[in-house]
Structure formats: structure tokens, C-alpha cells
């Protein structure tokens, strides 16, 4: 979305959960609610559209995902044709069709055929593994490397692939808008390197400074591998199985025509991993696979962790106090004001951090009621401020991983507001996981009290102002 907005296009986003898109993009795009499995909802979504992107999948929908994929594509194509859409751009998967394909990859190929047979000029990209903050493949690799110092590596981790950085993929998708009709067709796209999954995992470990041992085994079925992934990574086992079934066959570009037609110079694996980690360091992922609710399922959480993301602790507090007053209390946190609950525990944590050679809690803050990006705030650094809505902090204390603390306030219908407080932790290996779960009970106490205390401060200040 961001790249297209930067090019000046008028955009319409379609989702079964319109509020989620509106919260993310505000007034930048027009949002319509529709479901590709309910054909009656699509005409309004397609009305007036010139080019339609098809970025839909049903991997989380169980055994019937293939039929759902076909129905979704057919409904979308019919609605687009009736609305007079001039072009469809589809992102599918890369594989050699002469070899046996997994059910998931067969479905991806069939979706492309349905869209191309619609009579609407269609451009189909077939991409290998996508490496970027939030992508399914990257999340799997990251979780495996973070949690397993010794890994059993079946044959599929040695299969060759041609990973593409998410930024390069987005460049292809944007450039496809202006491609001449006579150049439309199927384009295989990948990065600069041909590597195995094992090499990608090693590349991630090197970037994070992790020492890992890989023990090859002659066979480990996709079904067993997927159950293993379901235990040690944030992937649902059935999603992992479909992914593994797909990577048991090479995904290497055979026809490099895309490099001649598009003005994109794909980067290699090392640069893609560096870029993905930099995006996460800034607390922003261009896209996240788990943000796309499956047509047959909903999000799941387990033990404080959101599948496909970091370890999270999220609290919400709804109040009759105005969003502006809550935002002012957000900006006052830390320094002489304290942390709204158990500030003495924060001070103890600061002393421990100083003993470990960290910054501790004595740095204070520049101004008692103002914060701008880059400001020091006790043991945190202000990373992002959105006027009247959001404050994000990045931890600078000694930690076995990376941590953020975010506060977001939104108005409620009829008055009042809701504060969402999210602590996010990206653990570094087993030490990071041990740290998170070892102090989980303390976090439960401190984070719950902090959210309530912040809102109580806003209520008190609003009451004092009105009396």
C-alpha cells in the first residue's frame, strides 16, 4: 500500500474485516468489506476499479483449502469481469510444473489459470521464498533459529530455492501496473542467490550472532516435520505442512525474462535478511502473513504469543476519559512521574541493568510532558510518536533480545476511549525465551497495573480539569 500511495494512485482495499484496514491506513485508502467466498459482496468492491491485485490464499482453512482457492478465484474473476476491470495482477508460487507438485502449489497454479482464463488481461508473478519482516517463510526460519541450538535437518532443508526480498517483490508488483498489455503473461521472480533453506537459516543465525548445530537425517516426512514446526515455531501445524510440502521441490527461476522486462535488480539473501531485521528493529513490518485472516479461520494466541509475530503481552483498558487526556498521560510516563504502577520494581530493574553494564533508569527524560522520536526515557528510547494516538518505546537495557513498549489510544463510539498497551519481545535464542517466560508472572503484575494506572491518571487529570 505504501509504495502505491507514494506513486499517487487512488487505492481501495478489500477485507472481510474493514475496521482492521481502516485502523491501519486511516483515510489514505478507501476500504470496502467483502468476502471472495460470498459472490454477492464483490460487485460493490469492484465497481470503478481499473486494476485488481489478487493476493488471497486459504492455507489456514484445513483440508478443503483447494476447493476454497478455486471458488475464491472464480468469484473474484467473474466480479472483475462484470465490473469492467482492465487488469488483474496475481502473486503465485514458483515451481517446476514438470515435476510432481504439492497440493498447495497445484492450487496456486490453478488459481493463476482461473484468473488468466477470465478474459481479463492478467499478469502472474511466480515467486520463490519471500524474505521480509513478517513473511511466513522468514517467521519460520527466525523461530527455528531462535529456539533450537541443535537442529535435526531433513532432506527438504537442502532443496534449492531462489529467495526474494519483500522490497524487491513489492517493486515488481508496483511496476506491473504500467507494463504494456502485450508484455503481460507469467513471470518467474527470485533474488540474486540460489540457496537451500539450510543456507538461509545459517544466514539468519550469522546475522543474529547465534551458534547453531545442524544434524542431517535421511528422511523426515512433511507431516512429521509440520507437527514439529507446530511445537517449536509460531506456525500452525497445518500451515507448516503445506509450506514444507511445497519446499520439497526446487523453486528456482528457469525463465529470467522478468529481469529484462522490469527495472528491478533483486538483492541477495544476506542483504534481504539484513533488511528484514532492520525493519523489525524499527518496529515496522511492511507486511505480515498472519494479518491475513484465513477464509475459514481466525487468529489464535497461545501463552501470550501471537502466531507469526514476536512474543507479546497486550492489555486494553476502556474508560470514559477522552482520548486526548489519555494521550497526555502517555506522554508523561517515566522520569519524575514514574511508570504508573510499581515504579520501585522498575528502579530495581534499573539497578540490575547498571550492574550488568547497561544504562539503568537514571537518565530520566528531556521534558516532563513532551516526547519526540529519539528522546531518552529512563531505560527506553522514543521510537515513534503519533500526535493524539500512539507512543512507541524501544528498550536500551541489557536484554537477551529486543524489546518494545507501545501505547495506543482510540476513541469509542458515544464517547470515551480505549488504551491498548503492548509489550513486544524478540528473543535471542533460548536465553531470550527463558528470560521472557521466567519473569512472565512479574510482567503480568507490572503491565496490568501500568495500563490501569495510566488510565487512572488520565481520569484524575480530566476530573481535576473539570472541577
Q: How far is CA 426 from the centre of its chain?
A: 13
pLDDT tens, 120-144? 999 999 998 888 877 777 877 877 7
pLDDT in tens, 294-303: 443 333 333 3
Q: pLDDT digit string (tens) for 178-188? A: 999 999 999 99
CATH 3.40.50.880 assigned to domain 311-466? The reply is no
3-state secondary structure of 196: strand
Which pLDDT belongs to residue 218? 72
Q: Based on DSSP, count helices (H) and strands (E) in the chain, helices before strands.
A: 16, 20
Are 34-297 and 311-466 in the same CATH fold? no
Nearest 5°: the CA angle 6, 7, 11 is: 85
Spans of all domains in the chain: 34-297, 311-466
**34-297: what CATH class?**
alpha beta
Q: Is 183 helix (H, G, I), strand (E, B) or coil?
A: helix
Q: Are 93 and 126 in contact (CB under 8 A)?
A: yes
260 or 230, which is more confident? 260
pLDDT of residue 164: 94
Can you point out the beta strands (E) in 248-327? 301-302, 305-306, 311-319
How far is Cα 110 from Cα 105, in angstroms, rounded to an integer?
Answer: 9
Closest C-alpha to 89, from 119, 55, 127: 55
| CA 262 – CA 259 distance, rounded (Å) | 6
Q: Alpha carbon 187 to chain centroid distance?
A: 25
Q: What is the pLDDT of residues 328-384, one digit of tens each?
A: 999 999 999 999 999 999 999 999 988 988 888 988 898 999 999 889 999 999 989
What's 176's DSSP letter?
A: G
Amino acid at each position: 500500500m505504501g509504495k502505491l500511495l507514494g506513486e499517487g494512485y487512488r487505492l481501495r482495499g478489500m477485507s472481510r474485516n474493514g475496521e482492521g484496514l481502516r485502523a491501519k491506513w486511516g483515510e489514505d485508502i478507501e476500504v470496502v468489506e467483502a468476502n471472495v467466498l460470498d459472490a454477492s459482496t464483490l460487485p460493490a468492491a469492484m465497481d470503478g476499479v481499473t486494476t485488481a491485485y489478487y493476493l488471497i490464499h486459504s492455507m489456514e482453512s484445513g483440508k478443503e483449502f483447494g476447493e476454497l482457492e478455486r471458488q475464491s478465484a472464480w468469484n473474484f474473476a467473474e466480479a472483475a469481469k462484470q465490473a469492467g476491470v482492465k487488469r488483474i495482477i496475481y502473486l503465485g508460487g514458483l515451481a517446476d510444473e514438470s515435476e510432481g507438485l504439492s497440493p498447495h502449489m497445484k492450487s496456486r497454479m490453478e488459481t493463476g489459470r482461473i484468473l488468466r482464463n477470465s478474459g481479463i488481461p492478467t499478469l502472474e508473478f511466480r515467486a520463490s521464498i519471500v524474505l521480509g519482516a513478517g513473511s511466513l517463510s522468514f517467521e519460520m526460519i527466525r523461530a527455528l533459529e531462535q529456539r533450537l541450538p541443535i537442529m535435526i535437518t531433513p532432506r527438504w532443508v537442502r532443496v534449492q530455492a531462489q529467495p526474494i526480498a519483500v522490497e524487491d517483490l513489492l517493486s515488481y508488483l508496483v511496476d506491473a501496473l504500467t507494463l504494456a498489455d502485450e508484455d503481460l503473461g507469467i513471470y518467474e521472480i527470485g533474488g540474486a542467490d540460489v540457496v537451500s533453506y539450510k543456507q538461509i537459516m545459517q544466514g539468519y543465525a550469522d546475522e543474529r550472532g547465534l551458534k547453531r548445530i545442524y544434524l542431517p537425517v535421511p528422511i523426515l516426512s512433511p507431516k512429521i516435520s509440520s507437527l514439529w514446526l507446530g511445537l517449536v515455531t509460531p506456525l500452525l501445524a497445518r500451515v507448516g505442512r503445506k509450506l514444507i510440502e511445497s519446499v520439497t521441490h526446487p523453486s528456482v527461476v528457469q525463465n529470467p525474462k522478468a529481469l529484462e522486462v522490469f527495472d528491478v535488480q533483486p538483492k541477495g539473501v544476506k542483504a534481504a535478511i539484513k533488511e528484514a531485521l532492520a525493519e523489525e528493529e524499527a518496529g515496522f513490518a511492511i507486511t505480515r502473513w498472519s494479518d491475513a485472516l484465513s477464509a475459514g479461520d481466525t487468529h489464535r494466541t497461545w501463552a501470550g504469543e501471537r502466531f507469526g509475530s514476536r512474543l507479546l503481552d497486550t492489555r486494553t483498558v476502556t474508560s470514559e476519559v477522552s482520548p486526548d487526556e489519555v494521550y497526555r498521560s502517555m506522554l508523561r510516563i517515566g522520569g519524575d512521574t514514574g511508570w504508573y504502577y510499581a515504579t520501585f520494581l522498575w528502579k530495581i530493574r534499573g539497578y540490575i541493568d547498571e550492574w550488568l553494564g547497561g544504562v539503568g533508569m537514571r537518565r530520566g527524560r528531556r521534558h516532563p510532558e513532551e516526547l519526540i522520536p529519539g528522546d531518552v526515557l529512563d531505560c527506553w528510547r522514543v521510537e515513534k510518536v503519533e500526535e493524539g494516538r500512539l507512543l512507541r518505546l524501544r528498550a536500551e537495557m541489557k536484554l537477551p533480545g529486543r524489546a518494545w513498549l507501545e501505547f495506543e489510544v482510540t476513541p469509542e463510539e458515544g464517547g470515551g476511549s480505549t488504551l491498548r498497551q503492548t509489550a513486544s519481545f524478540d528473543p535471542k535464542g533460548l536465553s531470550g525465551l527463558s528470560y521472557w517466560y521466567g519473569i512472565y508472572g512479574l510482567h503480568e503484575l507490572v503491565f496490568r497495573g501500568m495500563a490501569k494506572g495510566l488510565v487512572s491518571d488520565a481520569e484524575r487529570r480530566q476530573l481535576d480539569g473539570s472541577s
